[in-house]
Amino acid sequence: MRLLPDVRPVRHLHLRRALSARASVKAADAGGPVRVRFAPSPTGNLHVGGARTALFNYLFARSKGGHFVLRIEDTDLERSTKQSEEAVLADLSWLGLDWDEGPDVGGEFGPYRQSERNSLYKQYAQNLLDSGAVYRCFCSNEELEQMKEVAKQRQLPPVYMGKWATASDAEVEQELEKGTPYTYRFRVPKEGSLKINDLIRGEELHVDAVSYRAEEHLPNTLRQALIYKALGFPMPSFAHVSLILAPDRSKLSKRHGATSVGQYKEMGYLPQAMVNYLALLGWGDGTENEFFTIDDLVQKFTINRVNKSGAVFDATKLKWMNGQHLRSFPPDELIKAFEDRWKDTGILQGCESGFAKEAAELLKDGIDLITDADAALSNLLSYPLHATISSDEAKPVVQDKISEVASGLISAYDSGELTQALAEGRDGWQKWVKSFGKSLKRKGKSLFMPLRVLLTGKLHGPDMGGSIALIHKAGICGAVTPQSNFVNLDERFRILKEVDWESLAKEQETLAESAVPAAS
């Protein structure tokens, strides 16, 4: 941002951030409720790290009966966009983090966009100038870059050399008359120390300790605290959360995969799961429990249980947690969610047969994301028999005289016996399969593995009785669409009858022999 129409952005100190807490200071002075604020920059998507910071702010405020304030940090005029601001607000709303004050709802301490607070900053910048706490610096960008280069050559941090700190009034006036752009720079005290209370780290941070602090905003906070002191504002309490790390313990970035809330929303994640998982990145209630609703979190959250160390983002754990939340939905809501998804993606068409209900109940335990429901149902409806029986994994099943099972199964289907059993649902299937096993003198794995392969075309899947009953129902109720690649029972048995089991067994034996290395 620009403090004045003709000055460059503040480089040495984050003056805008320090002054933005003015509303919190006034509320605290008046004995009002706890006030915390989240200040996202509308220059891109809401990062999961930013979302966790917003969540911890929200939980702290709600647990204390305080106010959660949203302020837009649109000081980067070149990169800030209205579209990005709207996306950030939408993501926060999707997570359920409603704010008490903000650019869209207003509030007593507005405006809530940094770009709209220039008159306020001009006033306080002038106060600082009048008190001597800041001075005008007329260095050009080229001069500043040269200072950085000199410091680099001397193996020093890029510190401003203080060229204009001791300039005379006449020298300053001369530059003002020429219209030279300037920056306000803070006069950092050369002696003494500054103590800051940090609610998470449980320690006082001093000016001389900044160089070895890993968390990103600790150095900024010390600078801001100097400005609070110069303006005579009461010092607020700070809480610096740790970074979110990638599995390799580097800072989480785009090279590690999805990092924004919007991406996870598009991938089918639930806001309840995102909130639950983000809360556990650096916080816990001291028990083994990992499943929390947002109401649970508000009740249990305490700042003293937030960890100092970095938290590793585990996408596998997040997906598992999403499945837990998905399956905690009331049955009617879960069925409706799956049915809507299947209709939207063109797998199902309108049908009052109860097919969606049965499909949801059968498949839910294997679905962690609502978007996974498509593949789960399509996979159930498919019949990749030839690919399965030709695989190495299927060899033990094929070589266990599967042709005998296939022959008996085909006879049961052709006679109508199997179809009649399936018409009675799972109970009919269970009665039939028990009788079928006795006729072949097979039970357990030696019965059910070949039956699964022959009827579903797969080695693995959900409950077989439920699967076969659903496949039978799909063939008679008209619920599935042509683009679902559904293979009905008639077609499955046509394919099954064409399999040459003897040739397949010989082929597998030949491949096995060729794979054995010759003796030397």
Residues labelled as active-site residues: 254
Distances in Å between the alpha carbon of 266 and those of 53, 198, 202, 252, 261?
21, 36, 39, 19, 9
Distances in Å between the alpha carbon of 274 and those of 85, 127, 243, 297?
20, 44, 17, 13
The alpha carbon of residue 448 and the mean position of all alpha carbons in its chain are separated, in whole angstroms, by: 40
In contact, 225 and 15? CB cutoff 8 Å: no
Cis peptide before 111 (omega within 30 of 0): yes
CB atoms near residue 304 (< 10 Å): 7
Q: Please tell me the distance from the alpha carbon of residue 301 to that of residue 421, in angstroms, as a whole number.
A: 55
Would residue 96 be called left, alpha or beta, if left means φ above 0 and alpha means ψ between -120 and 50 degrees? left
In contact, 101 and 69? CB cutoff 8 Å: yes
In 3-state terms the chain splits into helix, strand, coil percentages (rounded to 5) of 55, 5, 40
Question: Could you give the residue ranges of the DSSP H alpha helices within 154-217?
Answer: 169-178
> Amino acid letter at 208?
D
Q: Please tell me the distance from the alpha carbon of residue 218 to that of residue 95, in angstroms, as a whole number.
A: 27
Say if strands 244-245 and 311-312 run parallel, antiparallel, or are unpaired.
parallel
Q: Please tell me the distance from the alpha carbon of residue 121 to that of residue 5, in angstroms, as a whole number.
A: 12
> Amino acid letter at 236?
P
10 Å CB burial of residue 425 (0-12, 13-18, 19+) is middle
Question: Which residues are 197's β-sheet partners?
Answer: 204
- The first and second tokens of residue 399, run together, are 């070589």
How is residue 117 annotated by DSSP?
-
- The first and second tokens of residue 334, run together, are 């879960």
What residues have CB less than 8 Å from 286, skipping those under 6 apart?
305
Q: What is the radius of gyration, based on Cα positions, of the chain?
A: 33
Q: Please tell me the distance from the alpha carbon of residue 28 to that of residue 24, in angstroms, as a whole number.
A: 6
Q: Please tell me the distance from the alpha carbon of residue 456 to that of residue 476, in angstroms, as a whole number.
A: 17
